[in-house]
Amino acid sequence: MTRKGLVLIWLGVLLSAVLALFWYSDWIYQLPTPVPENYKPVKTGTVIALENRPDIPPTQPVLLHFFNPDCPCSRFNKPHFLSLVRQFGQQVAFVVVVMSTKSYSVRQIQEKIGLDIPVLFDASLATACGVYSTPQAALLDAHHRLYYRGNYNRSRYCTDEKTSYARIALTELLQKKARVNLDPLALTAYGCGVTYCTNDSLLPKK
């Protein structure tokens, strides 16, 4: 066999491996995130404590963006999240909640997100909101009561407007609807599992 033939075979193997990895990642994304054993669902209307946080308006709706910089799903979600901030940022406070065991500074997270918005390193918020995967949105009303906790979109790349769940929830909250009516897929967590949210072992980083 010629050298050119060997190179072509090697390139074919590499391409097949890349495609297989992509297919596997896409298949994994289509599966719901396993629910932690001691997971406790949080009812809508539950007050989420955000006191003593001067960067969060006390009388404005808040969207907590649970984000893991090392989660591919969180990275795919970035353009969609930015579009929500552009559309609703004047009426809703957007806050990033970092869910990672690695050490990051506020500035590093803001650079990864591409926005100068508040960043929290507080794993207890995941438990308080019933979040166990990333990316997830927890939308609180002006009294910081949980209005919606769930997915941003059913599509991995957030391109399906019919299942733009977080956008729908934001719109209905601002229209002062008592509750948001979404299909069960909105509330079934997809993405990267947050294994440590079951024991609150992650401490805030300085």
What averages of pLDDT result for each successive group of 10 residues across the chain (206 residues)? 74 73 54 86 94 86 96 90 97 96 95 96 94 96 97 80 93 94 89 60 36
What are the boundaries of each domain within the chain? 1-30, 62-198
Q: What is residue 7's predicted lDDT score, i.e. its pLDDT?
A: 73
Q: What is residue 18's predicted lDDT score, i.e. its pLDDT?
A: 64
Phi-psi region of 66 (alpha: psi -120 to 50; beta: other; left: phi over 0): beta
| 166 close to 148: Cβ distance less than 8 angstroms | yes
User: Which CATH homologous superfamily contains domain 62-198?
Assistant: Glutaredoxin (3.40.30.10)
Q: What is residue 27's predicted lDDT score, i.e. its pLDDT?
A: 52
The tokens for 200 are 């609150």
Within 13 Å and on the Cβ side, how many CA atoms surround 31? Answer: 11
pTM of the model: 0.82
Which residues lie across from 145 on neighbouring strands?
47
How far apart (Å, rounded) are the C-alpha atoms in residues 190 and 141?
24
